[in-house]
Amino acid sequence: MPSKYTTIHYHSYLDLDKVLDAQHPRSLEKATGKPAHDELLFIITHQAYELWFKQIIHELESVHAIFKQDNVKEKDIGNATHRIQRVTEILKLLIQQIHVLETMTPLDFLDFRDYLFPASGFQSYQFRVVETLLGLKNDKRITYNSSHYASVFPETQQTHLLELEQQGSLVERISSWLERTPFIQYSDFEFFTHYNKAVKMMLEKEQTAIQESPYLNEKEKEMRLMMLGNSSTYFASVLSPDSHAQLKKEGKIRFSYQATVGALLINLYRDEPILRMPFMLLNSLMDVDEHLTTWRYRHAQMVLRMLGRKIGTGGSSGYDYLAETAIKHPIFTDLYTISTMLIPRSQLPPLPKDVEDALGFFYK
Ligand code: HEM
């Protein structure tokens, strides 16, 4: 009978023959003159990224599996949160790695850049998988060269990306889970009626404060009242299903109406023990979004430093394209909308005793 535990050597366990034999600087193969010293750094940095992308995909797939269930267990929410937090930690590392690559100067890069053409970060399949698993939709992507972003991949990968998009992203899975948030209506407590009242009071108070302010002139008052009107549009999106449907139609919101209400309840009553973990989960998703956006900015800055205004090897405008993705490609934008709709704790309707007990795991 074979033993359950066999011995193995560090080198073979990590398949280091393959990993360490996977760096082939083109300048070494092609150059008639001197090979470019910094090309090894360039290759290893990209390979390290791809390995981390693999780990991120592993984490995100497991989180998908959890939220795919019709009934998500409480203990699974803890696991999901933990894995999403791990993704953020990896992203922090990926942002840091840019500093290492920036020790290569633009002139050093030019020693081998010509050999890279037309290879480009556009061809990172795993990066597109990460974006798609999280929820970046094809119709939200900035296009370049007027071609589909996936056209650079072989057909099997294009099909897989399409399937991933159709099977539902994390945004959609989280939205379905939020729709099932309990306690929106519990015994005699109607969260909505209370929230509605509190919002109206808060907006009226802010309106009066602007109108009566001795420090603002008429023009400034008019401007501020208009801005207040804009934020009340978002309040309306949760107070009225019709306004929500309109914002959804305009592509400003992705969560369903019920999910938005669920997320709002979780955020407002996040100090109640039963809502703590869901709150941490939503927070961790914002962390991922924030760090991915920071990576996009940092990568764009590095590109500006390295290439100036040269176009990319993949045919985009380079810096301008990348900087625009940082603005337009955030994914969990609904969670930021929730922040617009928060009201101060002091104005939160107090919970009836039975609701507070239920939210606090109270056992007689
Ligand atoms: C000297 C360093 C680098 C330069 C000059 C550079 C340049 C560029 C440029 C110009 C683009 C736009 C596409 C194009 O026209 O080619 C791009 C896209 C991209 N690069 Fe880099 N890059 C560098 C390092 C990296 C590293 C280390 C990674 C890590 C994997 C990376 C990943 C990507 C990805 C994923 C995209 C696609 C971004 C998107 O479409 O949202 N790049 N890069």
User: What is the whole-number distance in angstroms between the Cα of residue 122 and the centre of ligand 1?
Assistant: 7
User: What is the whole-number distance in angstroms between the Cα of residue 102 and the centre of ligand 1?
Assistant: 13
Confidence label for 1 from pLDDT (cuts 50, 70 and 90): low
Give the atom of ligand 1 at the shortest distance from the alpha carbon of 124: 35
Give the atom of ligand 1 at the shortest distance from the alpha carbon of 315: 15
Instruction: State the pLDDT at residue 361.
Output: 77
Instruction: State the pLDDT at residue 203.
Output: 84
Instruction: State the pLDDT at residue 124.
Output: 98
Helical H segments across the chain, by residue range: 10-13, 16-20, 26-30, 39-68, 74-101, 106-110, 125-134, 155-167, 170-179, 191-211, 218-239, 241-249, 257-268, 273-307, 319-328, 333-340, 353-359
Mean pLDDT, rounded, for 301-319 = 92
Confidence label for 135 from pLDDT (cuts 50, 70 and 90): very high
pLDDT beyond 70 at 364: no
Backbone angles phi, psi at 186, to 5 degrees: -140, 125
What's this model's pTM, rounded to 2 decimal places? 0.94
User: What is the whole-number distance in angstroms between the Cα of residue 61 and the centre of ligand 1?
Assistant: 24
